[in-house]
Amino acid sequence: MSGDMSADNPVSIIIPAFNQLAYCRQCVASVLMHTTYPYRLILVDNGSNDGVAEFFDAVPDAVVVHAGENRGFAGGVNLGLQHAEGHILLLNSDTIVPRGWLERLVTALESDPHIGMVGPMSNCVSGSQQIDGLVLSDLEEINACADERALTHAGKLRDVARLVGFCLLIRAETAAAVGRFDETYGVGNFEDDDYCLRVLRAGYRLCVAEDAFVFHYGGRTFLGMGIVDDAWRDLIARNEKTFHEKWSVRPEERSDVVQQSREYNRRAAAALNEGDYVEAIRQYKAAIEVAPAYDLNYNDLGVALWRMGEHARAYDQFTRALRLNPENADARENLRIAAHALGRVADWDKCNDP
């Protein structure tokens, strides 16, 4: 599958659930009421015993999967993925989606082929997708909040290091490349961090659509399972340990500002390839302003300056990159070449003194 999806290609909306019938009803009702973009609804019952299974079976035109047991968020999603086509929208069963929600997320995802996943802002979510102090009591207020957000933040995207799986739109090509969710994390937590890291390492961007909002009650499935207080903290700690034992995570892979900086760097590289040196320098400076301790930008700025004939200034940038990260092999090699070209071999030798 290649290219961006159009309105003729429905988004597969996967909602996994374990019990919490009242919240499932609200979630599905909001999807049916407020989703005008073409979609395919895939409902996954994780062995519920409170009527969720029967409710899902009664939803018109939905694809319903019965797991027979609680396989957790990752397991439920993986069952849903077997029936998915096109872009994939993962949605927690304790959410309420407002009007225009899916159009905004799809527009954000398709604004750049490098974007692999997009998430909305919310009233209850960890990390930078959170809107603090937001209290909404009914559907009218949720819609009003979403409408205002769409107006005041129209088209705004922000690169991040992680997106929370409560509402997550995944590009079709990204899902095909990255594959299934890791079910090692059990009932939930850190399976979305795991997936985000894999998407980043596959070369895609993660973005928050600032103009999109989805209401989230938060943690209702865990609450219903009695996973609260110490049990909740133990689950978080256990899955975080699993995550870090699985991955050797580099600091920049968990930094939002570095991901934002990388996007400026990408734009700078594109401008440089087109011979637009002024725009390239502007973008590299923006990248440095966002993440002043990120060595990659100084090295790349140095390369741009060198191509412009600004050799002395390029030397300074290579030096800065190497000071920030002595393991940066590209900066070290560039500094060596620059030192010899500028007759500063003595300075180069000092840099390499043990």
State which residues form the domain around 268. 256-351
> Which CATH number covers residue 339?
1.25.40.10
Question: Cα separation of 260 and 205, whole Å?
Answer: 9
Q: How many structural domains comprise the chain? A: 2
Note whether 329 and 220 are same-domain residues.
no
Look up residue 24 and give its two tokens: 């499932």
**What are the pLDDT digits (tens) for 122-173?**
998 988 999 998 889 899 999 999 999 999 999 999 999 999 999 999 999 9
Domain finish residue from 251, 280, 309: 251
| Assigned domain for 262 exists | yes
Question: Is the residue at 301 inside a domain?
Answer: yes
Per-residue pLDDT reduced to its tens digit, 72-103: 889 999 999 999 999 999 999 999 999 999 99
Report d(CA 331, CA 301) in Å as an integer.
Answer: 11
Give 286-315 pLDDT, tens digit per residue: 999 999 999 999 999 999 999 999 999 999
Q: pLDDT value at position 87? A: 97
- Decide if 2 is inside a domain: no
Mean pLDDT of 26-55: 96
Residue 220: predicted pLDDT = 63
Q: Which of 251, 266, 298 is the endpoint of a domain?
A: 251
Q: 303 and 247 in one domain?
A: no
Q: Which of 258, 259, 260, 281 is nearest to 269 (CA)?
A: 281
CA neighbor of 91 nearest in space, from 175, 186, 9, 17: 17
Is 3 part of a structural domain of the chain?
no
106, 110, 115, 120 alpha-carbon torsion, rounded to 10°: -20
The domain boundary residue, chosen from 218, 251, 284: 251
User: In sequence order, which residues have a C-beta less than 8 Å from that of residue 189 and are 6 or more positions away?
Assistant: 235, 236, 239
Alpha-carbon gap, residue 108 to 211, rounded angstroms: 9
pLDDT in tens, 304-343: 999 999 999 999 999 999 999 999 999 999 999 999 898 8
Averaged pLDDT for residues 43-67: 95
- Regarding whether 233 and 336 lie in a shared domain, the answer is no
What percent of the chain clears pLDDT 70, i.e. is strictly above it?
92
pLDDT computed for residue 228 by the predictor: 58
Tokens matching residue 178: 């990255």
| 258/145 Cα distance (integer angstroms) | 30
Check whether residue 47 and residue 159 sit in a common domain.
Answer: yes
pLDDT at site 69:
86
187 and 301 share one domain: no
**Side by side, which strands form the sheet with 205-213?**
63-66, 39-45, 11-17, 88-91, 167-170, 115-121, 205-213, 157-159
139 and 54 belong to one structural domain: yes
Query: Do the beta carbons of residue 222 and residue 274 sit within 8 Å?
Result: no
For residue 187, being part of any structural domain is answered with yes
Within this chain, do residues 215 and 183 fall inside the same structural domain, yes or no?
Answer: yes
Is the domain of 93 the same as that of 226? yes
Q: Which tokens sit at 268?
A: 């700078």
The tokens for 342 are 């500028």
Q: Are residues 164 and 201 in the same domain?
A: yes
Whether 7 has a pLDDT exceeding 70, the answer reads no
Query: Which CB contacts under 8 angstroms, 24+ apart, belong to 330-338?
Result: 330/299, 331/295, 331/298, 331/299, 331/302, 334/299, 334/302, 334/303, 334/306, 338/302, 338/306, 338/311, 338/314
Q: How far is CA 217 from the centre of its chain?
A: 20
One domain, residues 134 and 274: no
For residue 6, is it within any domain?
A: no
* Residue 35 within a domain: yes
Span 209-262, pLDDT tens digits:
999 999 999 766 655 555 656 776 777 788 888 888 889 888 888 899 999 999
Q: Is residue 132 one of the residues assigned to a domain? A: yes
CATH number of residue 106's parent domain: 3.90.550.10
